[in-house]
Chain A
C-alpha cells in the first residue's frame, strides 16, 4: 500500500524537468520535498495527479499503476493535492469549495438532481457532513458560508487544505502550504499538518521552501535539483548533506529565519 515512483522522467521540449527520479513513500510517512526553483517538485505533483505525462518511468500507487488513470479519476484513487498558487473556486462559498472536494463521495448527476428524490437529498447531506468535518478540522467552520475570496491568504490556504481533506485522501500532496503566510500562521499550519500526520496513516508529501517549517515538520526530506534526486533521508542528515547545501540551502540554513538562503 505504498507509493512507488521509479525512473520518472519528464521533458518539456528540450528541458528535462525530472530525470530518473525514484521515490517510495509508505503509509503514515510525512515527506518534505525541497529544492531550488525549477527543480521539478511541482512537476512531480503534476505527474502524480496526471496533469503531466512523463516521458519515462513508472508510478505505482497502492499496487496499481497510475499511468492509465485519467486526471478526473485521480481523486477516486485517493490522491488529493493543493496548488502552489491558490486553486480555489472564488465564486463559491467556503463550504461549497470543500463540498466539491467531497465530489467523489457522491454519484448523483443532473438527472437525479433535477427532481431531487430522497436519495439525492441524503447524498447531499452526507457530502455536506464530510465538508463540515473537514472545515472543522482546519478550524474554519464559522466561515463556511463566506465566499472563498476576500479572506486573508492564510485562511484561503487552509480552505484549500480542507478541500483536499474532504477527498479523504490516502496520499496528500501539499504544494507550498505556507508560502506567503505570517509567523503565527505558519506555526498553526505546522500543527495542523502534524495533527493530520499523527491521527491517520495517510502519506503526506510537502513541497516547501520554508526550511524551518520543513525541518521541524518532516522526519524525512527529499531534495531535488535540476530534476534529479540528490538526497533522501532523515532531515538531520539531509540538511548537512554537502550536495544539498551546495545546491539549495547555502551556508547555514537554520540560521536564517525565513529559510531562504
Chain B
C-alpha cells in the first residue's frame, strides 16, 4: 500500500496504542535481532545464574504477568483498580487448595483459576465500572481489604492466618532440570503466552475501542463502541491475568498466606503499572522488575528502607518520566537510532 511506503519514507511509525502522542522517534531498527537476543537470554539465564537469582527472575515474570493484565485496564482502558491483589489471592489460594486438599495435578489448576478469576472479574467489573474515578477506586479497594479477611475467616479450608503450604512443582526427570530451572521455564512459557495475548488484544478492534473510550468516551460511543461492555471485559481479562499470576505465585513460592495479599500488594501493583509505563507492552515487565528488585536491593541497606526507597523512586519516575521506565527506554533507543543514523 502506498500509504505505508510514504509513512516509512517520512519517518513516521506505527504507534502502540496508548503511546504518548507527539512521539515521532523512529522505530527501533533491529527488532528481530533484539527479540532473538532477548529470547536466547531469557532461556539461558536459569543455567547461568545461582538458584536465588533464578527465583528472583521467576518472580519478575510472575509480577509481570499480573501487571500486563492490570495495564490492560489502567493503561489502555483508563480505569483504575486498587483491588487486583485480591485476584492474585484467588488464583494463589485456588491453586493451593486444589493441589493440597483435592489432589488436583498442579498444571490443571492454571486454567481453572484463570476461568474463575475471569468470571470474578466480570462479576465485579460489571457493576463497579458504572462508577468512575474515586468511586471505582473505593469499590475495588474494598475488595482488596475484604479478601484477606475472608481468607482468615475460613481457616478450615485456607489455613487461616497461618497460611497454606503447597507442594512446589518438581521437574520431570526426563528434562534433567533442577526444580527452580523447571519452574522458571514454566513461568517463562506462560509469560510469553500472556504477552502475546496482551499484544493481540491491544492491537485489535476491541483494544482500539477500549483505548478510544479512554481518550474520548463520547466520540467512541457515537462510532458504535459499547463502552461498558468493553471496560467490563477488560476488567475480566485483567482479573484473569492476576489470577494466573497468583497461581504461578503459589507454584513458585510453595506457600500462601493472607499476609502475601494485603491491600499493599494491590497498591504496589498499581504503582508498578505507572512506573513501568502505562499503555506500553514493555512497561509491565519493567514494572515487575521494579517491584521485585528495588525492595530486595534496598533491604540490604536497612530494614526500613524498601518502603522508603520504593516510594521515593515512584515519585521520581512519576514526576520526571510520566511515560514510565518504558518511556525512558524508548528515549534511550531513540538516542541510539539517531546516533547510528539508522531507522
A binds B: yes
Taking Cβ atoms with an 8 Å cutoff, the residues of A that contact B are: 49, 51, 71-76, 80-81, 83, 87-93, 96-97, 99-101, 103-104, 106, 108-110, 113-116, 120, 123-124, 127, 132, 135-136, 141-150, 163, 167
Which residues of chain B (2-57) have a CB below 8 Å from chain A? 2-4, 6-7, 10, 12-15, 17-24
Q: Given the complex, which residues of A lie within 8 Å of B201, measured CB to CB?
A: 110, 113-114
* CB-based closest 6 A-B pairs: A113-B204, A75-B224, A87-B219, A89-B215, A149-B21, A147-B21
Q: Given the complex, which residues of A lie within 8 Å of B214, measured CB to CB?
A: 91
Q: Given the complex, which residues of A lie within 8 Å of B279, measured CB to CB?
A: 91
Expressed in whole angstroms, the Cα–Cα distance for A109 and B227 within the complex equals: 13
Question: Is B212 a contact partner of A89 (Cβ separation < 8 A)?
Answer: yes
Question: Is B205 a contact partner of A72 (Cβ separation < 8 A)?
Answer: no
Say if the beta carbon of B1 comes within 8 Å of chain A. Answer: yes
Q: Given the complex, which residues of B lie within 8 Å of A83, measured CB to CB?
A: 218-219
Return the contact of A75 from the options B4, B204, B223 (Cβ within 8 A): B223
Most buried by B among A80, A141, A145: A145
Say if the beta carbon of B102 comes within 8 Å of chain A. Answer: no
Known: A96-B17, A113-B200. A81 touches B222 (CB 8 A): yes
What 8 additional pairs, Cβ within 8 angstroms, besides A89-B219, A89-B220, A110-B206? Answer: A71-B222, A87-B218, A91-B21, A100-B209, A108-B206, A110-B237, A114-B201, A116-B204
Size band of the B side of the interface? 35 or more
Expressed in whole angstroms, the Cα–Cα distance for A167 and B216 within the complex equals: 17
Q: How far is the CB of B117 from chain A (nearest CB, A)?
A: 15
Question: Is A87 a contact partner of B224 (Cβ separation < 8 A)?
Answer: no
**Could you mark each residue 293-322 of chain B with 1 if its beta carbon is under 8 Å from any beta carbon of chain A, else 0?**
000000000000000000000000000000
Question: Is B215 a contact partner of A109 (Cβ separation < 8 A)?
Answer: no
Question: Is B14 a contact partner of A145 (Cβ separation < 8 A)?
Answer: yes
**Could you mark each residue 188-207 of chain B with 1 if its beta carbon is under 8 Å from any beta carbon of chain A, else 0?**
00000000010011001111
Say if the beta carbon of B126 comes within 8 Å of chain A. Answer: no
Known: A90-B215, A100-B220. A146 touches B3 (CB 8 A): no
Question: Is B15 a contact partner of A96 (Cβ separation < 8 A)?
Answer: yes
Residue ID in chain B nearest A140 by CB atoms: B3
Most buried by A among B18, B23, B215: B215
